[in-house]
A = this chain, B = another copy of it.
Amino acid sequence: MNHSCRNLRVLIAYDGTEFSGWQKQKHVRTIQGDIEACLKRMTRENIPLHGAGRTDAGVHAEGMVAHFKTISHISTEDFLFGLNSMLPGSIRILDVIPVDYKFHARFSARKKQYHYTIFTGRIQPPSKRLYSLHIRDNLNLKKMSECMSHLQGTHDFSSFENSGSRDKSDLSGRGAVRTLSKASLTQKDNNSLVFDFIGDGFLRHMVRNLVGTLLESGRERLSVDLFKEILQAKDRTLAGPKAPPHGLSLIKIFY
């Protein structure tokens, strides 16, 4: 181990609207790509930035965590200030702290929290359009909450996974089994609903598929019993449509 090499943990917020998601890709703008480019400008090192997970194009984050290793002597304070000076306002570094060399943003994560926000008023204010899904149908909140109560605990969430999309680097052997410690619905103000999920992991598009299906139950197109059956069936073809990305935000990673 190189003792002059530090491991730094970064807390990041972003507006995903104009990005092709978290993960670096050629020819498109991504959060990871933008931050790595700034790290290179600051340190002249080729620094890989390891995120706690990926987010899709258009998905936001209030509390993404990542880590990177550097042999530079730049202070954490200067990283915070320097990165924010170079990055666009749509990406903000909220915190940089030195962590144990063994800390890994992804493998050390215990839980993640996501919010999915719905605007239910008749006309959506322009300032909310990028951060909440506008639903004009009447929604039965009691029914959606009841469906969500059945999501809590440990389940095989295959029915809400995008087919053929399992992360191939998932070496945990747990397949599509995940544990949700929270799945609840809260009314934020008169016109906003927030689906709140905390889990030890989420399959690809799982939150968006869950929300799309929950909304079908809220519209009275799906009974609570049928919702439970869909969960138990482990069959993606039964669930509702995937909710669009812009209502989704990664709120917090728990370590």
A residues in contact (CB < 8 Å) with B = 13-15, 60, 62, 84, 89-94, 123-127, 129-131
Contacts and interface: CB of A to CB of B under 8 A. Distances in A.
6 contacts: A13-B126, A60-B126, A89-B126, A92-B124, A92-B126, A127-B130
A90 B123 contact: no
Secondary structure of the A contact surface, majority rule = mixed
Nearest to A11: B123
A62 B92 contact: no
Copies of this chain in its oligomeric complex: 2
A143 B130 CA distance: 36
B89 A13 contact: no
Contacts of A93: 123
A21 to B, nearest CB: 15
Contacts of A89: 124, 126, 129
Contacts of A84: 123
Contacts of A123: 84, 92-94
A130 B129 CA distance: 13
A81 to B, nearest CB: 10
A29 to B, nearest CB: 14
A31 to B, nearest CB: 11
